[in-house]
């Protein structure tokens, strides 16, 4: 579709990447992203390893993406799951490697296997064939070039469902710019608002400033979350915030940032499922679950900041635990 100025415009009924594919821009974007593997700078760690030659940085991923699993998932946020599920592809490896990760077998222990571009494209098409509402790419940051490479093949073979970029929030703006016009729904975590816990538990003292810049760029690209008449998300920003014991995640500051610097219409999942995992069982702070009172306070802080679009199951849970 062309507007009055001769520019390509997006048909709201189709996913973002369809317009790029028609012009050949998606293929060019994939080629440009693959060049970043030669001296990898895809995430804020900027390891500089030659992944094309098989060298491994923090994400422990070389030239080929590693995939742990692919299929429908019914445990995601309400607008993603809908009636038919979210079509998840879980990528092995991670650029954060949090010491309390609940999926550390996938993120840090190498579970999964390398996938050729054709295999990854087939997985994308498989979740669409199963009727999933979207293609949900879980921990995709370090696999951005491989995803774009496979996406070119999948779109050519009929992929037409929205893409969800489901990430930890530790994103380089330059990499997000490669995804401008490709991703329909951004779903980042906002893990910390203070550098000390970010350094201690994720070895990322710069996380607070990085996640702020990343969420600003994501919102610039896709705006507030748009939900169709079926209650299914089509485009926009959805933010996850895992409540940690003793206020370690900086919930009040995180919610104020989202409400005042992003949008008061930001859709937020304030998550209560923290439990001690991996390396923190004996940790003085993270060695326990959060209390009901801590969770209630976190939800109230979101509302007090002016956020009204909280994931619906949270409202039911909030009533039950009062």
Res 110: pLDDT = 80
Decide: helix, strand or coil at residue 181: coil
pLDDT tens over the chain, length 322 residues: 344 433 334 456 789 899 999 999 999 999 999 999 999 999 999 999 999 999 999 999 999 999 999 999 999 999 999 999 999 999 999 999 999 999 888 998 888 999 999 999 999 999 999 999 999 999 999 999 999 999 999 999 999 999 999 999 999 999 999 999 999 999 999 999 999 999 999 999 999 999 999 999 999 999 999 999 999 999 999 999 999 999 999 999 999 999 999 999 999 999 999 999 999 999 999 999 999 999 999 999 999 999 999 996 544 444 333 3
Residue 6 lies in a domain: no
Residue 181 lies in a domain: yes
Residue 5 lies in a domain: no
C-alpha closest to that of 295 among 265, 317, 262, 266: 317
Q: How far is 69 from 49, CA to CA, in rounded Å?
A: 26
Residue 2 lies in a domain: no
Residue 238 lies in a domain: yes
Total domains present in the chain = 1
Residue 24 lies in a domain: yes
Q: How far is CA 1 from CA 11, 19, 89, 99, 103, in A?
A: 7, 8, 30, 47, 42
Cβ count near 137 (within 10 Å): 24
Q: Which domain holds residue 45?
A: 17-321
Residue 277 lies in a domain: yes
Res 12: pLDDT = 62
Res 313: pLDDT = 57
Place of tokens 């990528």: 91
For the domain that residue 124 is a member of, what is the CATH number?
3.20.20.70
Res 312: pLDDT = 66
pTM: 0.93
């Amino acid at each position: 579709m062309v507007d009055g100025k001769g520019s390509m415009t997006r048909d709201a009924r189709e996913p973002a990447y369809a317009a790029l594919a028609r012009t050949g821009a998606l293929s060019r974007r994939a080629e440009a992203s693959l060049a970043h593997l030669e001296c990898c700078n895809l995430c804020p760690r900027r390891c500089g390893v030659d992944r094309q030659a098989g060298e491994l940085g923090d994400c422990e991923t070389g030239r080929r993406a590693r995939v742990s699993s692919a299929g429908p998932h019914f445990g995601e946020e309400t607008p993603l799951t809908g009636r038919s599920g979210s079509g998840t592809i879980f990528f092995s490896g991670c650029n954060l490697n949090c010491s309390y990760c609940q999926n550390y077998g996938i993120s840090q222990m190498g579970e999964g296997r390398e996938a050729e571009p054709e295999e990854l494209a087939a997985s994308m098409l498989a979740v669409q064939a199963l009727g999933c509402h979207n293609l949900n790419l879980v921990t995709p940051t370090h696999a951005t070039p491989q995803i774009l490479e496979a996406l070119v093949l999948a779109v050519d073979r009929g992929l037409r469902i929205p893409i969800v970029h489901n990430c930890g929030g530790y994103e380089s703006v330059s990499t997000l710019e490669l995804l401008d016009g490709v991703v329909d729904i951004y779903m980042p975590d906002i893990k910390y608002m203070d550098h000390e816990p970010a350094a201690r538990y994720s070895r990322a003292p710069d996380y607070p400033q990085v996640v702020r810049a990343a969420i600003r760029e994501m919102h610039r690209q896709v705006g507030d979350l748009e939900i169709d008449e079926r209650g299914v998300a089509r485009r926009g920003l959805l933010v996850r915030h895992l409540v940690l014991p003793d206020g370690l995640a900086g919930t009040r500051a995180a919610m104020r940032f989202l409400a005042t610097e992003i949008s008061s219409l930001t859709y937020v999942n304030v998550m209560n499922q923290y439990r001690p995992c991996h390396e923190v069982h004996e940790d003085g702070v993270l060695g326990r679950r959060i209390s009901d009172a801590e969770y209630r306070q976190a939800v109230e802080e979101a509302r007090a900041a002016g956020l009204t679009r909280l994931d619906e199951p949270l409202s039911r849970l909030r009533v039950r635990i009062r």
